[in-house]
Amino acid sequence: MKKITALLLLFISIVFLQGCSDSVINPVNEKPLTESGIYVVNEGLWGQNNSTVTYYDPVKKTHVINLYGQANGGARLGDTGNDIAVSGNSMLISVTTSNKIEVLNTLTFASERAVDMGSGSSPRRILIKDSVYCYVTGFNDRVSKVNYRTGQIEKSVQVGTYPEGIIMKGSKIYVANSGLGGGTTVSVIDVMTETVTKTIDVGLNPINLGLADNGYLYVVCTGTYDTVGPKGSVYKIDPATDSVIDSLVTGDNPGEFVIVGNTMYVLNDEGVAKINLATMTVENPVLISGITVNPIYGIIYSIGYDALTKNLLLGNPKDFSQNGEVVIMTTAGAEVERFNTGINPGQILVINK
């Protein structure tokens, strides 16, 4: 929801960008021959079919801004790239407005197939189950089971409205039902029967879920952006009982996050906050200021974590209409380096081999 709200800034300037969707150039004529590195899904501008994927090699310090186009004869990825996941040599990318899942080979980045998710499906987050199947949330209020080897949708499970985040723990799948800002539930799906077995009440506008080293499930609820509603919270769920055992009011509209051990680094209106999940306390409400990363609007658009270097990766959309960048920072908040991306870097994946 923070991204949806932030896109309003994009519409203010979109009129100045008509016809500019071919302006992304690759500064380095090199594509990876290995799957190791940093991959960034850039949303592009809504309605302009200019989503891209940027690849960065942190060792060689080389990168390709539009890797998909370079590896596929200039073809376009689609409209509004949203999520990225990897299993073996397969990389899956959800392209929301294009209603598809793109399946790529991680060694060549060539497209193997595009899974048509159906008109109005608006695929969001991807959960890879194994080397054959994945589950995809969609704004058609469903979780779809996809055979990404054949490109077939084999089952569709009705959940809450506008589901976003999805995660698996044991034999259960948990789905955050955002309600496009008005949702308050998490759906629990039994993997064996592929049916919803329970609905858990949480805070307003749940958008994503994560597991900590302590074995508990955490749900980030963004809350509302008006002047009277709740401004955000984190809920702690025991997967053994599927019940809420603790919650924390955070404020500042928390959004995307990464969990390192039992620590959550979460984006909010001010930048990056640090939360101790063991004690359910905010250790630092502004570990990294948004204006430090993005001097234009102070908004950080995405977050990732490199387990090898132990650094945070923060997506800077700048003014939401020009090419962005990823800012690499330590978990103490010190800047390491920056590299360029496409427009609106919305999802960051680090692969270490």
- H or E element in which residue 68 lies: helix 67-71
Residue 324 lies in a domain: no
Beta-carbon contacts of 87 under 8 Å, excluding residues fewer than 6 positions away, are 128, 130, 131, 134
CA distances 328 to 24, 152, 157, 245, 310, Å, are: 22, 38, 38, 34, 10
Largest CA distance in the chain: 53
Q: Which amino acid is at 330?
A: T
Write down the pLDDT at residue 1: 45
* Alpha carbon distance 284, 304 (integer Å): 18
Model's pTM, two decimal places? 0.91
Confidence (pLDDT) at 3:
58
- Indicate whether 221 belongs to any domain: yes
Q: Which of 23, 26, 118, 112 is nearest to 72 (CA)?
A: 112
**Model pLDDT, residue 95:** 99
Does a structural domain hold residue 25? Answer: no
**Cα gap 134→157, rounded to integer Å:** 13
In a domain, 75, yes or no: no
Q: Are 235 and 219 in contact (CB under 8 A)?
A: yes
Spatial neighbors of 279 by CB under 8 A, at least 6 apart, are none
Q: Which two tokens stand for residue 15?
A: 């009129």
Sort 207 into a burial class: Cβ within 10 Å, 0-12 / 13-18 / 19+: buried
pLDDT value at position 26?
33
Per-residue pLDDT of the chain (353 residues; tens, 9 = 90+): 445 545 444 433 433 333 333 323 233 334 444 568 999 999 999 999 999 999 999 999 999 999 999 999 999 999 999 999 999 999 999 999 999 999 999 889 999 999 999 999 999 999 999 999 999 999 999 999 999 999 999 999 999 999 999 999 999 999 999 999 999 999 999 999 999 999 999 999 999 999 999 999 999 999 999 888 899 999 999 999 999 999 999 999 999 999 999 999 999 999 999 999 999 999 999 999 999 999 999 999 999 999 999 999 999 999 999 999 999 999 999 999 999 999 999 999 999 98
Q: Name, in order, each residue with C-beta under 8 angstroms of 150's C-beta and a sequence gap of 6 or more.
A: none
CATH number for 211: 2.40.10
Residue 26 within any structural domain of the chain:
no
Q: Is residue 205 part of a domain?
A: yes
| Position 272 in a domain | no
Q: How many CB atoms lie within 10 A of CB 337?
A: 12
**Residue 258: both structure tokens together:** 């990464």
Count of structural domains, the chain: 1
Strand runs labelled E in 58-122: 62-64, 81-87, 90-95, 100-105, 111-116
Residue 152 in domain? no
Q: What is the residue range of 183's domain?
A: 159-255
Q: H/E element holding 292?
A: helix 290-293
